[in-house]
Amino acid sequence: MKVVIVGGGEVGFHIAHRLASESKEVVVIDRNPEVLKRFAELLDVKTVQGSGSNPRILDEAGVRDAETFLAVTDSDETNLVASLFADAMAPGMVKLVRIRNTDYTHYRPELIERFLDIEHIISPDLEVVKILEKLMRVPNAEEISEFADGRIQLVGIRIHEDCPAVGKDLIELRKKTGDLRFIVAAIIRQNRLIIPTGKSHVRSGDLIYCVCEKPEMSQVLEVFGSGPVSIRNVLIIGGGNIGLGLATRLEKSSLHVRLIEKDREKCEALAEKLDHTIILNGDGTDQELLEEENIQGMDVVISVTGDEENNILSSLLARQLGARRTITRINKIAYMPIARAIGLGNIVSPRLSAVNTILRHIRRGKVLSAVTLKGEEAEVLEAVAQEHSGIVGRPLKDMKFPSGALVIAALRGDKSLIPSGDTVIQPQDRVIILATRKAIPRVERELMVKLEYF
């Protein structure tokens, strides 16, 4: 597979890194020679200096024989023009375009998709709003992803010292939970990914990834010491696209929402667009302001300004002053381990959301969604099992799946399955697979129709 990436920022670098490590052919286009130097020194990719909106540069990058084209610069206009020329030079190629300005996506988005033949418009801010809504619905989750139209849940739960599961192995937990259907799919321990067995023990500080059906989510949370939590008071810091989008959605609920924004003009614009949210002109790192707004009574504080250092400080201050929970927007993927190390477990990233969206469309086989786990050493893929693919027709225990890959759930018609070794995947089942980065190429081959090789 050959992939051409226009834009050498965080999203472009992260995608290039993932694909190059899987031995895919990657070409990166960027204007800045210093940016391209980083790619050349750290990754096995080809680089081309110039503008991705220049057809000559696209031709030099070999766009005519590429299978996938990604336009992910910080300029919506550059991305759109680059896609226009790419479509003219290589009709039928899969094109993914990052667009941040909601004016493009809200005003007749079908115009862009139809005339540029774009496979998918990547809107990172919108994806983050959706993630925030999910985290709000499951307050004790550090991370949550939905599969099979929301019926299957993958939830990341942080294990605390007083958790009743600490010290127990997974076989023992299974015996105690009886008929409750769930799988512990992965454990992140000290930034290291573990694919657990029945003998694996639960330790304090672990981040446990559990898979279950949506109705059983609350019971699974209780197994790992996370009881029900109600949310009533919400404080949003930052009135940009994410803050506004989240406030707009939360106004449809019974929550009490306040929003702090530095820019007075932006506050006035927010007040015109929001009906029930209390708008405050101020700084989210202002301790006096936070105390005046009863920060200790806030169930959740969500810091989503465009300045990640400001977001980190706001979240730390809010926690110190008594807020029950914080969620922090961080753009630089490299900052995430540091943020977690200082206790900021709930993190959202527009760039990582863009990466997940891109991976879904790049993966071979009929992949419906892809989510990167924390630590980024594994992905969870949702795919449709095709009749002649290597995943169907045999019990899972007899499959030649690579080490580091695990079928964690499936959906057959209206019936969801938490599989065992005797489960047989049938054609058209929606299958959810956890795979380490090294195992991804082999999993892709198993998902593809075997007849393609003849």
Share of the chain above pLDDT 90, in %: 42
Report whether 260 contacts 285 (CB < 8 A): no
Amino acid residing at 199: K
User: Does residue 335 register a pLDDT over 70?
Assistant: yes
User: Does residue 182 register a pLDDT over 70?
Assistant: yes
DSSP 3-state assignment of 218?
Answer: helix
DSSP 3-state assignment of 423?
Answer: coil
Report whether 273 contacts 157 (CB < 8 A): no
DSSP 3-state assignment of 129?
Answer: helix
Pick the CATH number of 233-348 from 3.40.50.720, 2.60.40.10, 3.40.50.970, 2.170.150.70: 3.40.50.720
How sure is the predictor about 82, in pLDDT bands with cuts at 50, 70 and 90?
Answer: very high
Specify the pLDDT at position 442: 83
Partnered with residue 433 across adjacent β-strands are 381, 407
Q: Where are the domains of the chain?
A: 2-122, 130-223, 233-348, 353-453
pLDDT tens digits, one per residue of 265-277: 999 999 999 999 9
Q: What is the CATH number of domain 2-122?
A: 3.40.50.720
Q: Which of 308, 177, 187 is nearest to 240 (CA)?
A: 308
Q: For the chain, report the end-to-end CA distance as a whole number of angstroms.
A: 18
Q: 403 burial class (0-12, 13-18, 19+ CB within 10 angstroms)?
A: exposed
Specify the pLDDT at position 362: 76
pTM of the model: 0.81
Pick the CATH number of 130-223 from 1.25.40.10, 3.40.50.2300, 3.40.50.300, 3.30.70.1450: 3.30.70.1450
Can you tell me the mean pLDDT for 107-133? 77
CA atoms of 379 and 157, how far apart (whole Å): 17
Count how many Cα atoms sit within 13 Å of the Cα of residue 147 in the half-sphere of its side chain. Answer: 33
How sure is the predictor about 121, in pLDDT bands with cuts at 50, 70 and 90?
Answer: confident
More confident residue, 283 or 139: 283
Specify the pLDDT at position 311: 95
More confident residue, 92 or 263: 263
Cα–chain-centroid distance for residue 402? Answer: 24
Superfamily of domain 353-453: Regulator of K+ conductance, C-terminal domain (3.30.70.1450)
More confident residue, 96 or 356: 96
347-348 β-sheet, strand order: 278-281, 256-261, 233-237, 300-303, 326-329, 347-348
The chain-wide mean pLDDT, for the chain, equals 87
Specify the pLDDT at position 451: 42
User: Does residue 452 register a pLDDT over 60?
Assistant: no
CA atoms of 198 and 184, how far apart (whole Å): 9
Residue 438, CA distances (Å) to 12, 21, 140, 447 in order: 20, 8, 31, 16
Rounded to 10 degrees, the C-alpha dihedral 223/225/231/236 comes to -120
Return the ∠ at Cα 434 (arms to 404 and 409), rounded to 5°: 125
Specify the pLDDT at position 110: 65
User: Does residue 113 register a pLDDT over 80?
Assistant: no
How sure is the predictor about 365, in pLDDT bands with cuts at 50, 70 and 90?
Answer: low
Return the ∠ at Cα 68 (arms to 11 and 17), rounded to 5°: 35
Return the ∠ at Cα 197 (arms to 193 and 200), rounded to 5°: 75
Q: Specify the pairing of strand 233-237 against strand 256-261.
A: parallel
Partnered with residue 281 across adjacent β-strands are 261
9: number of Cβ within 10 Å: 16
How sure is the predictor about 49, in pLDDT bands with cuts at 50, 70 and 90?
Answer: very high
Domain 2-122 and domain 130-223, same fold? Reply is no
Can you tell me the mean pLDDT for 81-108? 84
Count how many Cα atoms sit within 13 Å of the Cα of residue 365 in the half-sphere of its side chain. Answer: 33
CA atoms of 55 and 60, how far apart (whole Å): 9
How sure is the predictor about 210, in pLDDT bands with cuts at 50, 70 and 90?
Answer: very high
CA atoms of 377 and 220, how far apart (whole Å): 24
Six-digit token string for 107: 């005003």
